[in-house]
Structure 1
Amino acid sequence: MRFLRCPLCGRPLTAVDTGTARALRCPRGHSFDLARQGYVNLLAGRAPHTGDSPEMVDARVEFLGAGHYDMISAALAEAAATTMGSTTRTGAPTGSTDGAYPGLVVDAGAGTGWHLAAVLDAVPDTVGLALDVSKPALRRAARAHPRAAAALCDTWAGLPLADASTALLLNVFAPRNGPEFRRVLRPDGALLVVTPANDHLAELVDRLDLLRVDPTKSDRVAGSLAGEFDLVHRSRHTHPMRLHRREVATLVGMGPSAWHVDGARLAARIEALPEPVTVTASVELGHYRPR
């Protein structure tokens, strides 16, 4: 609560309970419902899209639960522990009057909160906030970790957070709003960005006619953030996965090819794959500091 701000006027939010409903409300009377599943709707207007469906979220939970992307969680957790060190209680949101604050970890485009939970385990003196546009995903994210909360939010429209409130911001395979990321990060904060490497899922690209990762993607991401951030370090993380066809379908559905490949044709190609099939997960982790 102490870090959140009204997405309409930027004022602090407080919890209210009318007896029939719970909500967050700002001094100007803007009110935002708390869903019974645990997340708060902090959209300033209508979302541009609804994000992952319940079926997609269930499939992703199963995929992540099988450990296929644990190397991403581990890389983020290690980077977070190294980056945050003993600075997690030094900052407080602009305009706050309270004393010491725990460090805030925000995952922009968090999905079910899987990676956020791993980071919170690695840096115990923190609280977490999962931001996403998918209600089914946020129902999971609200329960992802005892120190995590979840909010419905369109990152392109702005983040419902106080200036300089965030110690660490995660961005995994999700859109990046550089100016907003810079605004909410503390001067000593950090941004961790995970993007696919050019050989990510290479074994499936030709077989399934998937979109290829631009070889210059990491440089383009760094360039898009250059006005607000400096790249401190970049590392590559690779892991072989043995996937069944159902998992391959889930994996493809988690990426941009899901929107560009004919569904029937894709299903036929997946059905023709050997089972299991070995697929390489290859990502790059960029560590950025605000300018």
Structure 2
Amino acid sequence: MRKREAKIQLAAQQEPLFACPVCGNAMRIEKDSLVCSQGHVRDFSRKGTVNFLSQQVATEYTATMLAARRRMLAAGLFRPFLDAMAVHLQPHQRLLDVGCGEGTPTAYLAEQKQQVAVGFDISAPAINLAGSLATPALFAVADLAHLPFVDAAFDTVTDIFSPGNYQEFRRVLRPDGQLLKIIPRAGYLKELRTGLYAGTAKAIYDNRPVLDRFLATFPQAEIHPITYDFPLAADQFADLLTMTPLSWQAPAERRRAMLANPLSSIHIEVDLLIVAHLVK
């Protein structure tokens, strides 16, 4: 069975999840498309992905950046904190991964507990690459402000370094659903921050404003710090530099200097924020 047909078959099994992004009505599978009762149609691509946006949104996610990110994540850059997230998943439940990018974390989390997983991102190039993964997870281009899913559709929402729309998260989560969110701590990629921005305000990062806003919304949240050093092979440093938004605005001469003296490891320091029973 070709990938498109396999994904359509999988989507048909999860048909009750989908809501029309235009009118909000339920959607059903008709041949190669999702269709609502008002006649709004969203087609499956050749890779089995769906674009729920009415028009394309420009992002800074280039094919080069996404390919570099795919290689680094496949090598395990995020594996320790993904494993920490997976501990909180229950088998055979429904998971929505917000801002999934090229899809590697979505696929990994889905595999750990046989989750019914849907990943979405506003970047069409990212979702196109996600569609190439050999995974039963479904991928879609969608808008965080108007999620194309019915109320109470998911058991877990995961959010890795992405903005949050907590009103929408509450809407699409079941009453006993949970939110698992990853945010960077001060030491995240600290070697890159120092090398690229030494002597400037960007050399220092403080996650307190992000954390304070989150805790103001979810005072019951648990905070789990996760810290490790990831070893880098000689040919991986260029991919690391390319994949992270931290480097995109860096002075060209500092990028060149770092590429000439690649790091042998990189520091990863994040907070795993857990909100159980999000809908109250």
TM-score by length of 1: 0.81
* 8 Å CA contact 1:133, 1:152 repeated in 2: yes
Aligned partners of 1:235 and 1:151: how far apart in 2? 30
The alpha-carbon distance between structure 1 residues 214 and 245, as it changes in their structure 2 partners (threshold 3 A), is farther
1:6-64 residue CA offsets vs partner (Å, 9 max, x unmatched): 011111112223xxxx3211110111121112100111x33442452222221111111
Which consecutive unaligned segments of at least 5 residues does structure 2 have? 1-14
* 8 Å CA contact 2:94, 2:154 repeated in 1: yes
* 8 Å CA contact 1:249, 1:270 repeated in 2: no
1:130-162 residue CA offsets vs partner (Å, 9 max, x unmatched): 10122232234335454311111121x311110
Which consecutive unaligned segments of at least 5 residues does structure 1 have? 89-101
Counterpart among 88, 98, 106 of residue 96 in structure 2 = 106
The alpha-carbon distance between structure 1 residues 231 and 266, as it changes in their structure 2 partners (threshold 3 A), is farther
- SS of 1:2's equivalent in the other structure is helix
User: 1:207: which partner in 2?
Assistant: 195
2:81 pairs with 1:72:
yes
- SS of 1:79's equivalent in the other structure is coil
The alpha-carbon distance between structure 1 residues 276 and 175, as it changes in their structure 2 partners (threshold 3 A), is same
Query: Which amino acid counterpart does residue 176 of structure 1 have in structure 2?
Result: G
User: 1:94: which partner in 2?
Assistant: none
- SS of 1:213's equivalent in the other structure is coil
2:33 pairs with 1:23:
yes
2:20 pairs with 1:6:
yes
Aligned partners of 1:286 and 1:244: how far apart in 2? 30
Deviation of 1:232 after TM superposition, in Å, equals: 3.1
User: 1:93: which partner in 2?
Assistant: none
2:212 pairs with 1:220:
yes
Aligned partners of 1:138 and 1:185: how far apart in 2? 23
The alpha-carbon distance between structure 1 residues 193 and 283, as it changes in their structure 2 partners (threshold 3 A), is same
Percent of residue pairs identical: 29
User: 1:287: which partner in 2?
Assistant: 274
Aligned partners of 2:45 and 2:187: how far apart in 1? 40
* 8 Å CA contact 1:47, 1:154 repeated in 2: no
Q: What number of residue pairs does the alignment pair up?
A: 260
- 1:98-177 → structure 2 map (5 Å cutoff): 103-124=93-114, 126-144=115-133, 146-155=135-144, 157-177=145-165
User: 1:61: which partner in 2?
Assistant: 70
Deviation of 1:75 after TM superposition, in Å, equals: 1.4
Counterpart among 21, 25, 36 of residue 46 in structure 2 = 36
Counterpart among 257, 273, 276 of residue 246 in structure 2 = 257
Query: Which amino acid counterpart does residue 108 of structure 2 have in structure 1?
Result: A
Aligned partners of 2:205 and 2:68: how far apart in 1? 23
1:237-276 residue CA offsets vs partner (Å, 9 max, x unmatched): 11212225753343344444244323x2343132242x44
CA RMSD of aligned residues (A): 2.3
* 8 Å CA contact 1:5, 1:160 repeated in 2: yes
TM-score by length of 2: 0.84
2:240 pairs with 1:248:
no
Query: Which amino acid counterpart does residue 42 of structure 1 have in structure 2?
Result: F
